[in-house]
Amino acid sequence: MFQAETLDHVAFPVRDLPRSERFYLETVGLTFMTQRKNADGSPRHTYMKAGENIVGLTLPGVAVPASASGAPRYAIGLPNVDQFDAAVKRIQASGVKCFDVESHGADSPFVTAFQFIDPDDNQIELCVRRQPLAETDGVSHVIFETGNLARSIKFYTEGLGLKLVGEVRGETLFEFQNGQMLGVKEVKELAERTRKKGRACHVAFNVSQEDYDVMLERIPKLEGKSLGDFRATDGLRPDGERSIYFFDPDTNYLQITALGDKSGGMISDEEKWKLTQENRQKAGRGISSFDKGVKIQK
């Protein structure tokens, strides 16, 4: 069956990493995984976990307000209403901007949902799904803006093989094989938040090796733009793993990965930068200002 399998990880920009770590650990309730460093040893990302999905908090941040459309938005699924209610109370008490708790009808994939804006102006959502996801799947869905709904439907159904679910709250939803979702909201003009998303901030999907070949061919034909795979050129991919980063037709930054036969695991920062510098020197390139930890706010 030609269809992207799962949402794997999301990464969005933050301006103050210690503050964001506290907020997502203590207030939202995610689990700490690791903090990654730049080549000079300064902080680069913090990886949290929602189930087994990685949620990346990524420096440098962007000095861009949250969009009026409510997208881009990243949604965490909670297993039951009790956990949802407890998390909502903590977030409401934290002082961030909160919206009303929503109750959904029986025709919606959600029982209840709650949206808020985090301390770095990222749109975040908590929800309880009508058909619960597996415990490993902590990211429920992501929502992007689109300037052309028909084009987006064609891109996500024909390019990534996602199943068109329907419309909820004015957002068109597509489903992965495991029930996680991606949605788009049509807008007259893309918000600054969509256009200035931050370095290394993206949403990643897992696909089969067979479907990867099909998607690699279809993405540019459907007005997407392949950006290649910098991790492969830096020598950081495990044997057999293939991946590309790309833009959808509305410049939402995405990634597809087809895993190899063996899981590579996460290498240390020291080994990462050793391999990166060796491979970039072979290609006649050096370490960028971003990789050295220079924080440029846009």
pLDDT at 297 over 60: no
Average pLDDT score over the chain: 93
The pLDDT tens digits of the residues spanning 175-233 come to 999 999 999 999 999 999 999 888 889 999 999 999 999 999 999 999 999 999 888 78
Boundaries of domain holding 187: 6-282
Over residues 117-130, mean pLDDT: 98
Binned at pLDDT 50, 70 and 90, residue 298 comes out as very low
Question: Considering the domain boundaries, does residue 40 fall inside one?
Answer: yes
Q: What is the pTM of this model?
A: 0.94
What is the per-residue pLDDT for 266?
81
Q: How many domains does the chain have?
A: 1
Binned at pLDDT 50, 70 and 90, residue 289 comes out as confident
Over residues 38-60, mean pLDDT: 94
Question: Considering the domain boundaries, does residue 298 fall inside one?
Answer: no
Question: Considering the domain boundaries, does residue 204 fall inside one?
Answer: yes
pLDDT at 295 over 60: no
Question: Considering the domain boundaries, does residue 18 fall inside one?
Answer: yes
Question: Considering the domain boundaries, does residue 68 fall inside one?
Answer: yes
Binned at pLDDT 50, 70 and 90, residue 263 comes out as low
Question: Considering the domain boundaries, does residue 274 fall inside one?
Answer: yes
144-148, 211-215, 244-248, 281-285: segment of lowest average pLDDT = 281-285
Residue 72 vs residue 273, higher pLDDT: 72
Residue 244 vs residue 263, higher pLDDT: 244
Question: Considering the domain boundaries, does residue 66 fall inside one?
Answer: yes
What is the per-residue pLDDT for 283?
83
3-state secondary structure string, the chain? CCCCCEEEEEEEECCCHHHHHHHHHHHHCCEEEEEEECCCCCEEEEEEEEECEEEEEECCCCCCCCCCCCCCEEEEECCCHHHHHHHHHHHHHCCCEECCCEECCCCCCEEEEEEEECCCCCEEEEEEECCCCCCCECEEEEEEEECCHHHHHHHHHHHCCCEEEEEECCEEEEECCCCCEEEEEECCCCCHHHHCCCCCCCEEEECCHHHHHHHHHHHHHCCCEECCCHHHHCCCCCCCCEEEEEECCCCCEEEEEECCCCCCCCCCHHHHHHHHHHHHHHCCCCCCCCCCCCCCCC
* Domain of residue 144, CATH code: 3.10.180.10
Question: Considering the domain boundaries, does residue 288 fall inside one?
Answer: no
Query: Of the ranges 46-50, 196-200, 272-276, which is most confident?
Result: 46-50
